[in-house]
Amino acid sequence: MSLIRKLVPPLASGFLFGMGLTVSGMTDPQRVRGFLDVFGDWDPTLAFVMGGAVLVMAVAWRLQARMAKPIFGHAFSLPDRSDLDPRLLTGAVVFGVGWGVAGLCPGPAVASLALSPVHAIPFVAAMLAGMLLQKVTME
């Protein structure tokens, strides 16, 4: 498989994802915090974005189940575990708290690097440090 054929699908997907996050306003930390402020000035926009994503993924899962292999790959890379362990639950809590405090999660943070790097760089740096720490502790 040529390098271009290998790189175009993920780059196109990432670009489309980033554009969707930007157009929907999910790169704006205030909008995310507004969604989490259910007892204050609640902003339901994120619920509609998540609902749209769930619908798209529902269709994608149905299509994937009928495919022998992916269009741009050799095999599907699907989760092989369904249990919940303490590390997963702890990671989910840390992710949620970080999301609420910063108003960003990894996808919107990376997309924000192009729009508002001064605000996104501290989050992305902390995220990369966390990834490195996790990798070091898993070895």
pLDDT at site 89: 92
Are residues 103 and 33 in contact, defined by beta-carbon separation less than 8 angstroms? Answer: yes
pTM of the model: 0.71
> What per-residue confidence (pLDDT) applies to 73?
80
pLDDT at 45 over 70: yes
CA angle, 11 then 15 then 17, to 5° = 115
Model confidence pLDDT, tens digit, residues 58-114: 999 999 999 999 888 888 888 888 889 998 899 899 888 888 888 888 888 888 888
Residue with tokens 């930390």: 29
> What whole-number percentage of the chain has pLDDT above 70?
99
- Predicted pLDDT at 1: 60
Distances (CA, A) of 74 to 1, 68, 69, 108: 10, 10, 6, 29
How many folded domains does the chain comprise? 1
CB proximity list for 44: less than 8 A, separation 6 or greater: 35
The amino acid present at 131, given as its one-letter code, is M
Task: Tell me the pLDDT of the chain averaged across its residues.
Answer: 88
Tokens of 107: 């996808």
Instruction: Give me the amino acid identity at 139.
Output: E
| Domain around 26 | 3-138
Q: What are the distances in angstroms from CA 20 to CA 50, 112, 116, 125?
A: 12, 12, 16, 23
Separation of alpha carbons 50 and 107, rounded Å: 13
pLDDT of the residue at 98: 85
> What is the Cα–Cα distance from 42 to 35, expressed in whole angstroms?
5
